[in-house]
Every structure is written in C-alpha cells, then in structure tokens.
C-alpha cells in the first residue's frame, strides 16, 4: 500500500540489536549488573606484628628446658630422646633423667615458657617415632615431658635438632606458634655391618639381583646339569 513505510526482516533484527547495545553498554561500564570489585582488606603493618610478638614473649614465664640424648648410638638400634620444659625456673627438671634414659649429656637452659608449648625433633638420617603429643600443657609447678624413639639409619657423626615453640594469642583472637630456640645435638653413630649390608641390598636390590643373584643362580644350575650328565654316563 502506498504511503506506508515497512522494514525488511533483516533491518528489524539489526534495529533490535542496536537498541539492546545502547541500553546495556552504560550498565556494563558502571558494573551495575556484575560484581567486579574484590574487597580489599587493610594490610597489617609488619612492624606492629613484630612489636606485639616481642611484647608477648616478654610477658611469658621464665622457665627451664632440659634436653637429653645419647652421645653415641649404634646404627639400626633405637634409643629414647627426651625433652622437659618447666614454667618455674626453680624446678629441677634434670632430676631423674639419667635414671630413666641411662648415660648421656643433659643440656639445661633458660627459656621463655607459656601454658602451651610445642616441641619437635628432626634429623635427616634418623627414623624418629613420636611417643608423646607435640603440643602439651605445661603446669605451673611441674614440667611437661616429650619423648621420641630414635633409630640412626646411617653411621658417622649425625645431628638431631630440637625445635621449641610457644603458642601465642593475637588481639584478634587468632592463635599461632612461635618457634625459638633450636637446639642441636651431634651424635656419633657406630657402624652396624649386618644392618649396613641389609640397607645396601634394600637400596640397590635391582643391581644386586642382576649382578649377583642371577649369575650365581646360573652357575649353580650349570653345575647341577653337568653333574646329572656325568651320572647318566656311568654304567
């Protein structure tokens, strides 16, 4: 019909897309429909944290720590290592240690102690089994005890490390453990030939199997075969 203006289907689709684009572009630019901003927490000044930790350490009790470990061990044989911590500097925490663990040097030093203490024992050439909980309550008028079974896996001079930590509470209510100090004990480990031989075979079983067991097995098999052949030739 004359006088009427009509759009083709293609023009109608393009017009609709243009309208949608004009409506949503400002919203996308302003982030009205999407949560694009990540909340930023205010940083905690490192100097304030260090100051708090240092002040907290000053208010801990003046106590004692005793570390008892043998000076000599035999490779592959287990012995016990013990640590005691007291919050009372007057407590004789070394008393009876030799009766429990036998000979060896006892190291006693002053330490800042709190109600909750953590002690860890590490050594790269030892098998260490923890016999008590790592974190324990230290009573006011007594001491807490940590015990480990220690078995040296290599011979020579080996080193054990004892790390002592105290649990502190921050003003926010969060708790953390501050480790200090670290004690070191060097132990002379005597070689144990049967244990060392078994350890060598265990670590090199593929070489041992290919270089020794297989050739020996072939030699034994040939000897038996030759002996059987000689027996068959007898009248």
Give 139-191 pLDDT, tens digit per residue.
988 999 999 999 999 999 999 999 999 988 777 777 888 887 788 899 999 99
Give 90-117 pLDDT, tens digit per residue.
889 988 887 766 667 888 999 989 899 9
- CA-based R_g, the chain, Å: 37
pLDDT band of 196, cuts 50, 70, 90: confident
What pLDDT is recorded for position 21?
58
Most confident of the following: 16-20, 69-73, 146-150, 221-225: 146-150
Each domain of the chain, given as residue ranges in start order, spans 61-193
What pLDDT is recorded for position 16?
65
Span of 18-32, 55-69, 137-151 with lowest mean pLDDT:
18-32
Neighbours of 233 (CB within 10 A): 6
**What pTM was computed for the model?**
0.64
At the top level of CATH, the class of 61-193 is: mainly beta
Span of 110-114, 140-144, 197-201, 225-229 with lowest mean pLDDT:
225-229
What pLDDT is recorded for position 213?
56
Strand extents, DSSP E, the chain: 61-69, 72-74, 79-86, 105-113, 116-122, 126-130, 135-137, 143-152, 156-169, 175-190
């Amino acid at each position: 019909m004359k006088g009427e203006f009509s759009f083709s289907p293609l023009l109608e689709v393009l017009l609709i897309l243009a309208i949608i684009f004009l409506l949503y572009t400002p919203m996308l630019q302003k982030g009205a429909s999407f949560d694009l901003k990540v909340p930023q927490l205010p940083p905690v000044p490192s100097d304030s944290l260090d100051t708090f930790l240092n002040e907290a350490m000053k208010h801990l009790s003046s106590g004692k720590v005793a570390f008892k470990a043998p000076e000599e061990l035999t490779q592959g044989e287990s012995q016990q290592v013990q640590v005691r911590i007291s919050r009372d500097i007057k407590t004789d925490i070394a008393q009876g240690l030799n009766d429990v663990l036998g000979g060896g040097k006892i190291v006693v030093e002053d330490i800042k102690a709190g109600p909750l203490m953590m002690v860890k024992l590490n050594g790269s050439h030892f098998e260490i089994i923890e016999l008590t909980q790592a974190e324990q309550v230290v009573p006011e008028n007594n001491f807490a005890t940590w015990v480990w079974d220690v078995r040296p896996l290599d011979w020579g001079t080996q080193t054990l490390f004892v790390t002592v930590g105290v649990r502190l509470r921050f003003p926010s209510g969060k708790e953390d453990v501050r480790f200090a100090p670290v004690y070191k004990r060097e132990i002379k480990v005597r070689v144990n030939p049967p244990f060392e031989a078994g350890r060598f075979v265990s670590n090199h079983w593929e070489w041992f199997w290919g270089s020794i067991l297989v050739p020996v097995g072939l030699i034994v098999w040939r000897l038996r075969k030759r002996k059987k052949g000689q027996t068959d030739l007898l009248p």
